[in-house]
Structure 1
Amino acid sequence: MADLLVSLYTDRLSDLEEQARRAEVLIRPVLPPEMHLVADWVRENFSTNWASEVSVAISRQPSACLIAIDSGNLVGFACYDTTARGFFGPTGVHPDSRGKGVGIALLSASLQAMKSLGYAYAIIGDAGPVDFYVNAVGAMPIPADNKGIYQGMLRVKRT
C-alpha cells in the first residue's frame, strides 16, 4: 500500500470539517485511564499491531489518539504522531458504524489537531482505503517504490 501526503492548508479541510459536523458522534482524546479499554477494543476489532500503536498514541501528552463515541459506545478511533512524527493513523471504525460519517469526523479532528501542532503536511502511512483519502482531502501518493516505514517490520508467525 502507498503512503499518502495531505496538505493541512488546503481548503478541503474546511469542507471536511463541515461534513464532520453532520456525524452524530462525540470525538475526543482518549483519557489515560481508558488506555487498556481502547487498546483491547482495537485489538478485538482490528489488530494487535494497531493496538500497540494506539497504546503509544494514548501515552503521549496530550493524547494523540482520538475516539468516536455514539450513545456511550466506542465506535471508532484515530491516531497521529504514533509510528513517526507527522503520520496519521492507524484509524478504524466499527463495521456497524461505517457509512455514518464517523471516519470523516475522526480524520477531520486528527488533521486539525496536527495542523494546530504546526504541521503543514500529514503523511498517511501504508494507507488502506486510498480512494477515501484522495476524495476526502486530496491526498496524493508519495512515490517510494513500496519502501515505507513498515518495511521489514516483525510480524507474528502463524503456524
Structure 2
Amino acid sequence: MKDMLVRLMELPEISEKEQQLAKENIIFRKPIPPEKSFVRDWVFEHFGIYWANEVEAAFTQLPVNCWIAQKGNEIMGFACFEATAKNFFGPTGTMEAWRGKGIGKILLVKSLQSLKEMGYAYAIIGGVGPADFYKNSVGASIIEGSEISIYQNLLRKKP
C-alpha cells in the first residue's frame, strides 16, 4: 500500500453536510481522556488491534489527535491524525452501516483541518487502501515509491 499527499490550503467545505447529519443527531467532536477506553475498545472491536493501538497513541496528546462521529451513546466512525508519525493522517474508519452518508469525509476533513491548524501545508495519508476516496474527497495524490513506508517492518502476530 502506498502513501498519499494532500494539500491542506484548500480543503473542501463540509459544514452543509455536517448540518444535515446534525438533524439526524450525528455530531463530530474530539473525544476527551475519560473516553479513551471506550474509543479504543470500539476501534479494536470493529477495526483491530493495530488501529486500536494508534488510537491509544492519539490520546497521548491534548487535545486528543482524534475525531469521532457520534449518535447518542454510539460511535459511528473515527479518524486519527499524527498518531503514528508526525503529519500523518490515519487510521480512520466508519461503521459499515453508516458508510455512504459523508461521515468518513467529514472526519477526514476535520482531521486535515486540525493538521493545518498545527502549521502544516501538506499532510501524508499513510498506507492507503481506498485511494479513490482520498483523491475524490480532498484531491490527494499517490506518493510514488512510498511502498516502503513506516509500516514496512510492522510486527505481526504469529498464527
Q: TM-score w.r.t. structure 1 length?
A: 0.92
Superposition pairs of residues 3-152 of structure 1, within 5 angstroms: 3-10=3-10, 13-24=11-22, 25-144=26-145, 146-152=147-153
Which runs of 5 or more structure 1 residues have no equivalent in the other structure? Answer: none
Q: What do residues 89-135 of structure 1 show as CA deviations (whole Å, max 9, x unaligned)?
A: 00000111111111011011111111111110110000111000000
Q: Is the 8 A contact 1:17 1:108 kept in 2?
A: no
Q: Is the 8 A contact 1:76 1:94 kept in 2?
A: yes
Q: Percent same amino acid at aligned positions?
A: 47
Q: What SS does structure 1 have at the residue aligned with 2:112?
A: helix
Q: What SS does structure 1 have at the residue aligned with 2:116?
A: helix
Q: Is the 8 A contact 2:3 2:146 kept in 1?
A: no
CA distance in 1, matches of 2:132, 2:14: 15
CA distance in 2, matches of 1:75, 1:157: 31
Name the CA shift for 1:82/1:153 in 2 (closer, same or farther; >3 Å): same
Question: Which amino acid counterpart does residue 68 of structure 2 have in structure 1?
Answer: I
Stretch deviating more after TM superposition (41-50 or 139-148): 139-148
Question: Which amino acid counterpart does residue 37 of structure 1 have in structure 2?
Answer: F
CA distance in 2, matches of 1:145, 1:60: 27
- In the TM superposition, what is the alpha-carbon distance from 1:14 to its structure 2 partner? 3.1
Q: TM-score w.r.t. structure 2 length?
A: 0.92
Question: Which amino acid counterpart does residue 14 of structure 1 have in structure 2?
Answer: P
